[in-house]
Amino acid sequence: MSAELFPERDRTVGARRTPSYVEELNSAQHRAATHGEGPLLIVAGAGTGKTRTLVYRVAHLLDQGVAAERILLLTFTRRAAQEMLSRVERLVGSRSRAVHGGTFHATAHRILRRHGEQAGLASDFTIMDQGDAEDLMQLARARTGMGEKGKRFPKKETLHALYSRHINTDEPVGALLRAEYPQFVEYEADIVTVFADYVQRKQERNLVDYDDLLLFWATMLEAAPALAERIAGAYDHVLVDEYQDTNLLQARILRGMCRTHQNITVVGDDAQSIYAFRGATVRNILDFPQQFPGTTIVALEENYRSVQPILDTTNTLISRAEERYTKQLYTKREGGDRPWLATAQDEPAQTRFVVERILELHEEGIPLAEMAVLFRAGYQSADLEIELAARNIPFEKWGGIKFLEASHVKDVLAFLRVLENPRDEVSWYRILLLMPGIGELTARAAIDSMVRAAWHHQAFAEFAAPSRARDAHRSLVQLLHALRDAPAEGEGVVGTQILTIRQLYDDILRRKYDRVDPRLADLDQLQTIAGGYPSRAAFLSALALEPPQGTQDLGFDGETEDDILTLSTAHSSKGREWDAVFVIWAVDGYFPMSRSLGDPLQVEEERRLMYVAMTRARNHLAVSYPLNVYDTRRGADYSLDQLSRFLDRGVRDTMHRVVVEPPHDEVSAERNGPMEIDLRAILKGRFGGS
């Protein structure tokens, strides 16, 4: 109607599908979404509609006539990228599909595949995930003879972490050693030798690690003007989510990408910075206005997620933090209960509390999919997982041990990798050691002979294996031969290749492991996943950058449930929200972790992590902790735990205290008189058990 009455006015508003920003955004969100050119910093507290604002901003840019393919949206996780892009599409339709969105690493990968050759990088490089990189570091450690310095020399994980920190932060190795690993300071020169060998090895084998992806991207932007022009020139607007979790290297990339324009939008919350361990620095967001002069700052403070009692608790918790953009989150959401603080006798009691409360809330009509249990570290949910499985409550676990880290999966992938990149020493080594009759020395001899043959195609076939390894050598040659002859591209080829590998490998697996079935099931799953990729190369790259979240044990296969409880590490919970959230193991030494206690900065990060976990809740929040922990690390005895230091007096005052009832079987034992004989303890005793 009004369109007919005011045709002119309608035209000035723009296309009909234009979202009505004013109606759907509050004034701060609106200001951010419709910001014009120039740097923009959106300081967005938890639950303040950060994603919504960013989504509308992309829509706004499209409406302003910016071509979709000239917008680059960088996020921290794949999930965030997918969610953002699909929400933009829902808002403005398919024209948004050309928006480039992804993680820093995935975007770097795309750019390197396209422009890497002009920077001296072979286009068929293989991406190593963290485990691969550590294995290669181990090789460097062993081959440089540094591993034999006695037990004091850092392990491959430590070496890799140190190397990665160095690349991501630009801090000199010596400084990092003094700050993080004072016990290894004396080995600085040796460590650098190992690093040099690692880098050398990486290049010879045509391998690229996660850090290289970012480093090469940044370097091309900074040191190759013509190349930088082509890379950065592809985009007119760059938007970055979770900016508080970027590191110096990523900041360099952003400066490079915005060298000709200043159209950079970053969104973040300094109170949710939780990735310092991988080089992220909250300074990036605190110093953004200095880095990009003329920055417009917009703060989002109205929380749409949580009820006020939850905000009271989380606001109090984070008010203890030191340096930050001060925000006081508020909400118009009335009512709601205070968060619970549940004291349990021990771990089983805590588990029982969580499960029973989940069932209770479920009875009240909250779907399992709207509930989550969060914890500091993956293993902390073990007891809960067993109980959930026993009670047939379907759950899905995020974070924790990943599918690809399982050694049997890595074994199978090693075969594919060798085919894809015959110089992949790490994978060769892995495969060779699997074979009966081949040990460390034979494996090294085989690799050395391949090196001498310049990794010629037949190099392995020509290797003169010692007699005890003859059979193994022959069957491996046959297998690789068959795989090389197999079609390289087309529907399902990778799955077929895995099937071929398993003709050899399944027997090895049965010999190597006790619990065979779940592992075989994992390989079935790997085969299924592989079926969706057109080529081996595509499959391997995708695995490094987009690891599947499949969990092996205790999963619920068969009928696919759609109402599933979420278990997640606090880290993996970032950016998500649920109706009801449980935070378990709120014990000093667990959350915060004991390892962080020596460093005030790390304790602060743990506090922010607790804040992230607790702010995921919309209506119900329960924090729980067991009083006694049976902990083998502290001797074979129960120890008394202390509540997490983050739940100090002031925070507790905003919460509702609950004490978990003792278990039912003890109650019934009391009814029947004292226990005369403990059958279970006797049985355990037979095996010298605990």
Partner DNA sequence: CACGCTACTATTTTT
Partner DNA sequence: TAGTAGCGTG
Among 272, 572, 619, 644, binds DNA (CB under 7 A): 572
Site for DNA in 193-232 (CB under 7 A): 210
**Nearer to DNA (CB atom), residue 91 or residue 239:** 239
Q: In the bound complex, what is the minimum distance in angstroms from residue 571's beta carbon to DNA?
A: 3
Beta strands across the sheet bearing 264-268:
100-103, 71-75, 237-240, 264-268, 40-44, 296-300
Please report whether residue 636 would count as binding DNA according to CB under 7 A. no
Please report whether residue 548 would count as binding DNA according to CB under 7 A. no
Please report whether residue 441 would count as binding DNA according to CB under 7 A. yes
Burial of 651 (0-12, 13-18, 19+ CB in 10 A): buried
Looking at 329-370, list the stretches that DSSP marks H as alpha helix, in order from N- to C-terminal side: 347-363
Please report whether residue 507 would count as binding DNA according to CB under 7 A. no
Please report whether residue 504 would count as binding DNA according to CB under 7 A. no
Total interface residues for DNA by CB under 7 A: 48
Query: How many Å apart are CA 10 and CA 15, to the nearest integer?
Result: 8
Among 14, 436, 487, 490, binds DNA (CB under 7 A): 436
Please report whether residue 112 would count as binding DNA according to CB under 7 A. no
**Nearer to DNA (CB atom), residue 512 or residue 652:** 512
Query: How many Å apart are CA 319 and CA 622, to the nearest integer?
Result: 20
Please report whether residue 550 would count as binding DNA according to CB under 7 A. no
> Do the Cβ atoms of 552 and 396 come closer than 8 Å?
no
**Nearer to DNA (CB atom), residue 581 or residue 660:** 581
> What are the CA-CA distances from residue 410 to residues 20, 125, 440, 508, 553 (Å)?
50, 18, 18, 13, 17
Among 237, 376, 502, 620, binds DNA (CB under 7 A): 376
State the binding string over 123-152 for DNA (x if CB under 7 A, else -): ------xx--------------------x-
**Nearer to DNA (CB atom), residue 91 or residue 215:** 215
Please report whether residue 448 would count as binding DNA according to CB under 7 A. no
**Nearer to DNA (CB atom), residue 148 or residue 364:** 148
Please report whether residue 77 would count as binding DNA according to CB under 7 A. yes
**3-class DSSP assignment, residue 12:** helix
Strands 40-44 and 264-268: parallel
Please report whether residue 469 would count as binding DNA according to CB under 7 A. yes
Please report whether residue 106 would count as binding DNA according to CB under 7 A. yes
Site for DNA in 267-326 (CB under 7 A): 274-275, 277-278
DSSP 606-654: HHHHHHHHHTTEEEEEEEEEEEEEE-GGG-SSEEE--B-TTS-HHHHTT
Phi-psi category of residue 500: left, alpha or beta, with phi > 0 → left and psi -120 to 50 → alpha? alpha
Burial of 577 (0-12, 13-18, 19+ CB in 10 A): middle
State the binding string over 394-413 for DNA (x if CB under 7 A, else -): ----xxx------x------
Q: Whose CA is closest to 329, among 312, 341, 346, 351?
A: 312
Among 47, 48, 61, 104, binds DNA (CB under 7 A): 104
Query: How many Å apart are CA 551 and CA 564, to the nearest integer?
Result: 14
Q: Residue 88 is inside which H or E element, if any?
A: helix 78-92
Query: How many Å apart are CA 604 and CA 590, to the nearest integer?
Result: 14
Please report whether residue 600 would count as binding DNA according to CB under 7 A. no
**Nearer to DNA (CB atom), residue 468 or residue 657:** 468
- What is the contact surface with DNA in residues (CB under 7 A)? 76-78, 103-106, 129-130, 151, 155, 157-158, 210, 274-275, 277-278, 376-379, 398-400, 407, 436-443, 445, 466, 468-469, 545, 547, 569, 571-572, 593, 595-596, 632-633
